[in-house]
Structure 1
Amino acid sequence: MSMQNVSTQLPDNTTKPQPIVRPLYVVLGIIGVLLLAGLFIWAIIWLAQGHAQSIEAVRDIFIIFLALESCLFGIAFLILLVMIIRLVNMLEFEIKPLLEKTNDTVGTIRGTTNFVSENVVQPVTRARVQVAGVTRALKVLFGNPSKNLED
């Protein structure tokens, strides 16, 4: 049987992991947001130069938008509150009894372990120690029986 030289090299996985969002996209996003903000400010200034009615209409639209947004946040807050209440109920009525049963089981196991230790392990250990003591005493008194036999 000949031994062959087997290569045990691992693949080179030392390349850096790719970021989730590339910096180019972040920069382009920031530039886009700044352009939109500038366009919005320019539109407000342009409308303010003699188009007061248009400004009032835009203001009213923003007020309506903010009111709708406030309603949506209120609904989201209520949904979150209901979910938190359900979580607390689950913790109180499902997980707490489960933990109590687990604690009782651990107590039972602890008692069983003490019982087995006192009634099985310790007597067997004592008996084994006594047998070892008697065996040693006999070896001291009569010698090793395997050495006393002639071949």
Structure 2
Amino acid sequence: MDDKGTLSDLDKRIIEAFVVFDHASSNTVDVREVGTIIRSLGCCPSEAEIQEILVAVEDEETSGSVRLDRFLLIVSHIIQERRLQPASPEKLLKAFLTLDRDGKGYLTKEFLSKIMMEEGEPFTHEELDEMMGAAIDGETGNIPYEYYINQLMVRSEL
């Protein structure tokens, strides 16, 4: 809130996202919902970053829950600092080019699925299905990554 007691647009967005998971209308959510809420705000945290946020926001009196006031304070600050931002198109392209050793301009579904599930911080099956649904060319069954990156950028501007 600013010094006049009004909410910023960012604070309103955070509150709206939080309220979706506040099933009891008690201004609290289960700690297991925090990652989903933060991602719904356009942030891209790793699981380690989610754990750091949980340490900061978990209610000390009611373990396993997060209160709106604390969540709003911490998450608003994180977003204002531009932490947890998605990768730039240039960085995404560089990553895809690194994986496309033959310079074909696409990756196969099987290859990318294997990488996404076994390397680094693995995707969940749901995350992988969602990504593949948007990335796969219906005609070839492959992932033309430059087209996919462009689609991601168009969606993020909506």
Q: TM-score range by the shorter chain?
A: under 0.3
* Structure ranking higher in strand proportion: 2
What is the TM-score with the length of structure 2 in the denominator?
A: 0.17
What is the TM-score with the length of structure 1 in the denominator?
A: 0.17
* Structure ranking higher in helix proportion: 1
